[in-house]
A and B are shown apart, each in its own frame.
Chain A
Amino acid sequence: MKILAIESSGLTASAAIAEDEALLAEYTVNFKKTHSQTLLPMIDEIVKMIGMDLKELDAVAVSEGPGSFTGLRIGSATAKGIALALEKKIVPVPTLDALAYNLYDTLGLVCPIMDARRGQVYTAIYRFEDHRLVCIREKTAESIEDLAAELNGLPERQVTFLGDGVPVFRERLAEILDKDFSFAPAHLSRQRAGAVAALGIRYYKEGRAQESKDHKPEYLRPSQAERVRAEKLSGRGEKS
Chain B
Amino acid sequence: MDDIRILAIESSCDETAASVVKNGREVLSNVISSQIALHTLYGGVVPEIASRKHIEKIDQVITRALEEAGVTLDDIDAVGVTYGPGLVGALLVGVAEAKALAYARNLPLVGVHHIEGHISANYIENPDLEPPFLCLVVSGGHTHLVIVRDYGEFEILGRTRDDAAGEAFDKVARAIGLGYPGGPKIDKAAKEGNPSAYDFPRGKVTGSPYDFSFSGLKSAVLNYLNSASMKGETVRREDVAASFQKAVTDVLTEHTMEAAKDYKIKKIAIAGGVASNSALRASMEEACRRRNYSFYRPSPVLCTDNAAMIGCAAYYEYIRGTRSGWDLNAVPDLKLGER
Q: Contact residues of A with B, CB < 8 Å? A: 34, 36-41, 43-44, 54, 69-70, 73-74, 76-82, 84-86, 212-213, 215-217, 219, 223-226, 229
Contacts and interface: CB of A to CB of B under 8 A. Distances in A.
A73 B51 CA distance: 8
B97 interface: yes
B46 interface: yes
B59 A80 contact: yes
B59 A84 contact: yes
A213 B103 contact: no
Contacts of A34: 329
A34 B96 CA distance: 12
B301 interface: no
23 contacts: A36-B328, A37-B329, A40-B96, A40-B326, A40-B327, A41-B325, A43-B103, A77-B58, A77-B94, A77-B96, A78-B97, A80-B100, A81-B97, A81-B103, A84-B59, A84-B63, A85-B105, A86-B104, A212-B59, A217-B55, A219-B52, A225-B48, A229-B41
B140 to A, nearest CB: 18
B73 interface: yes
Max chain B CB contacts within 10 Å: which of A38, A44, A81, A85?
A81
Contact of A74 (B41, B49, B92, B327): B92
Contacts of B194: none
Nearest to A39: B96
B95 interface: yes
A73 B48 contact: no
A87 to B, nearest CB: 9
Given A224-B48, A229-B42, A84 B101 contact: yes
Given A40-B100, A226-B49, A84 B62 contact: yes
Interface string B142-165: 000000000000000000000000
B83 to A, nearest CB: 10
A54 B100 CA distance: 12
B327 A85 contact: no
A36 B92 contact: yes
B330 interface: yes
Contacts of A79: 100
B102 to A, nearest CB: 8
A78 B97 CA distance: 5
A54 B63 CA distance: 20
Interface string B19-52: 0000000000000000000000110001011011
Given A41-B327, A44-B326, A77-B97, A70 B89 contact: yes
B135 interface: no
Nearest to B59: A213
Contact of B96 (A36, A44, A69): A36
Contacts of A216: 52, 55-56
B171 interface: no
B55 A36 contact: no
A215 B49 CA distance: 16
| Nearest 7 Cβ contacts at the A-B interface | A81-B100, A77-B96, A85-B104, A213-B59, A223-B48, A81-B101, A40-B326
A6 B100 CA distance: 12
A124 B51 CA distance: 26
A174 to B, nearest CB: 35
Max chain B CB contacts within 10 Å: which of A73, A216, A225?
A73
